[in-house]
Amino acid sequence: MKVVCSQNALNLKLSLLSRVAPTNPSHPILANILLEAEGDRLGLSVFDLSLGMQVWIPAAVKVPGTITVSAKLLNEMVSRLPNQDVEITAEDTRVILDYGSGFYQLQGISSEEFPALPSLDEVEPLTLTANTLREGLQSSLFASSTDESKQVLTGLHLSFQPDSLEFAATDGHRLAVATANQPITQSPPPITIPAKSLRDLERLIAKQDVELLLRCDPTQIIFDIPNEGRLTTRLLEGNYPEYHKLIPKEFLRQVTLERQLFIAALERVAVLAAQKNNVVKISIDTDQQQLKLEAEAPQLGSGEEHVAAQISGESLEVAFNVKYLLDGLKVMSTNDIQIQLTSETRPTIISPLGGMDMTYLVMPIQIR
């Protein structure tokens, strides 16, 4: 194999792939990246038997062929090369990087041992835009759990409707549900996709305005970007919570306010809140038509902020984890938001006014 490609293009793709390659694999070759030179392009693939990614970059292929080499080592080496063409040559199991004023030789492993990525070519694909997928993930993925003991909650639940996709994620303390308008030619059953895999997908489709092909079966899902790349991942097993039942239908209080003003005030009181338990107390003042935000760190200090708002319903004091509030507010893109709540112990709903159809549920914290 002998191929010439741009260092910049190679470096961008290797930085994505090196995140996917496992650091402590069950077999040595799973820590490697598969290089495939064919036609006028170079293919790069990693696969840990659960999550796989394949990308293509333009290249001048002098001798077609395949080889695998350490993903971590190749990424670190290429990232330090100057921005110019790099020639990659495979001789037996040696991989040589030559960029004119220097060369490096790395030990590889034959590609025959590298496991094939799933294809699901027999499954009829769904077509969706990168923008739709990106917006849905941005509006929900942040609420997924990091607790591996609740594995199904470490994923994002994706449901298919005739004219929309519904994205949902929860960690048991908060719930984000986003609906994206998207014509769906078929309606597979709902699936739960590992959040980690979807964060890698977000990086793969960042800033791209293309159509993707989605294929899934009961155990895995594949996202194909024609002529660009592919991500494949196993689905999570288990029943996802019936989250629609958690969302209240009626509320006694409603608050409308400017999102950025609210974020700025929360970030200031969060400095003190973070010193103890991340709790911010919010006083909803109907008479003054404002919110009072308070945080206190014993022996360190206390703080108070006032934010103008349009309020209907009686005044109320309620407390939240300030990080949960900020996480949800920052993924919204509208100028104004609406907060709907009933009491200091019932779920609170935060929604953007306009923009993406998103519902963010946060459980208050009881103040003793």
Contact 326, 315 (CB under 8 A): no
How would you label 74-94 residue by residue, b for 16+ Cβ within 10 Å and e otherwise? bbebbeebeeebbbbbbeeee
* Nearest to 96, CA basis, from 129, 63, 128: 63
pLDDT band of residue 183 (cuts 50, 70, 90) is confident
The residue-averaged pLDDT of 222-234 equals: 93
Query: Tokens for 182?
Result: 């998207």
pLDDT at 154 over 80: yes
Domains of the chain: 2-113 (3.10.150.10), 126-245 (3.10.150.10), 247-362 (3.10.150.10)
pLDDT of 51 = 96
* Nearest to 240, CA basis, from 165, 206, 179, 189: 189
* Nearest to 97, CA basis, from 82, 76, 77: 77
* DSSP helix/strand/coil, 246: helix
pLDDT band of residue 26 (cuts 50, 70, 90) is confident
How would you label 108-139 residue by residue, b for 16+ Cβ within 10 Å and e otherwise? bbebeebeebbebeebebbebbbebbbbbbbb
pLDDT of 184 = 82
Looking at the chain, the whole-number percentage of residues with pLDDT higher than 90 is: 88
Residue carrying structure tokens 């989605």: 214
pLDDT at 368 over 80: no
pLDDT at 315 over 80: yes
Contact 69, 52 (CB under 8 A): no
The rounded distance, in Å, linking the Cα atoms of 76 and 131 is: 31
pLDDT band of residue 66 (cuts 50, 70, 90) is very high
Letter for the amino acid at 306?
H
Rounded mean pLDDT of the chain? 94
How far the first Cα of the chain sits from its last, in Å, is: 69
The rounded distance, in Å, linking the Cα atoms of 328 and 142 is: 8
Alpha carbon dihedral 20, 165, 178, 258, in 10-degree steps, equals 110
Letter for the amino acid at 264?
A
The residue-averaged pLDDT of 282-299 equals: 95
pLDDT of 52 = 97
* Helices and strands counted in the chain (H then E): 6, 26
pLDDT at 306 over 90: yes
pLDDT of 182 = 85
DSSP 281-334: EEEEETTTTEEEEEEEETTTEEEEEEEE-EEES--EEEEEEHHHHHHHHHH--S
pLDDT of 276 = 85
| pTM, rounded to two decimals | 0.92
State pLDDT tens for residues 100-120. 899 999 999 999 999 999 988
pLDDT at 253 over 80: yes
The residue-averaged pLDDT of 215-220 equals: 94
pLDDT band of residue 23 (cuts 50, 70, 90) is confident
pLDDT of 186 = 78
